[in-house]
Amino acid sequence: SSRVSQAVLTHHHEDHAGNASLLNARGIVVRGHPSAAVLLAGRRHLPFFERVVWGIPEPAAVHPAPPRIVTGRYAFRVVATPGHTPDHIVLLEEKQGWLFSGDLFLAERLLYLYRDEDLRQLLASLERVLGLDFEVLFCAHRGRVPDGHRVMARKRDFLLDLITKVDELHRAGHGEKEITRRLLGREGAMTWVSRGLFSKRRLVHRILRLDG
């Protein structure tokens, strides 16, 4: 079997980059966004929820990813897709029609928003990726998604429709809490377990500030 010589991080979150120091120790070159390289170079203060679930990662050496990453068999175009995090990137293998999407997709329906996510940037990144030519999506949390371009478009469309509905209810005089309950339902276990790091109401809150 071929020896692994390099690895690419789509962003700095612990569930994606937590073993980067182990890869360093094994002589594997780790690449990522320049901002990820800075964030992962030292120890960071993490919220309690993240420390419990993923632990505290060791500092790691991450090299800035070039515009194209070439292996023995494939060539990947590196595309900046901020929103989930400022340092988020995806990898496009144009000949194969593959998109390695990190946490850009996750699901067709976005119900929760993480504390640090930027909704405006996320929407722009979805549009940017939908302008690329790919068919198969490799999602960090969903695995291989054969009809990747279509499901990514569905996520974009869901968000645009949600924005319209939130604006309509807001103009009708409803507050954030009521809008959230009507459109997304009550907060679930994700909100309570994460101590509010993930929240449905935050998604509505950020939508209402898109025009600000």
Query: Domain of 103: which CATH number?
Result: 3.60.15.10
56 in any annotated domain: yes
62 in any annotated domain: yes
Question: What local confidence, expressed as pLDDT, does residue 212 receive?
Answer: 59
164 in any annotated domain: yes
Give the closest residue to 78 by CA, choosing from 87, 68, 86, 88: 68
Is the separation of the CB atoms in 17 and 7 below 8 Å? no
Is the separation of the CB atoms in 8 and 28 below 8 Å? no
133 in any annotated domain: yes
H-helix or E-strand spanning residue 128:
helix 119-130
Query: Residue 81 has which token pair?
Result: 């897709």
pLDDT profile of the chain (212 residues), mean per 10: 88 90 96 95 73 77 97 96 98 99 96 93 98 97 96 98 98 98 94 87 95 67
In which domain, by residue range, is 157 found? 6-208
199 in any annotated domain: yes
Q: What Rg, from alpha-carbon coordinates, does the chain have?
A: 18
1 in any annotated domain: no
Query: Three-state DSSP class for 100?
Result: strand
45 in any annotated domain: yes
Does the reported pTM lie above 0.75? yes
Distance of CA 8 to the CA centre of its chain: 14
Say how many domains are in the chain: 1
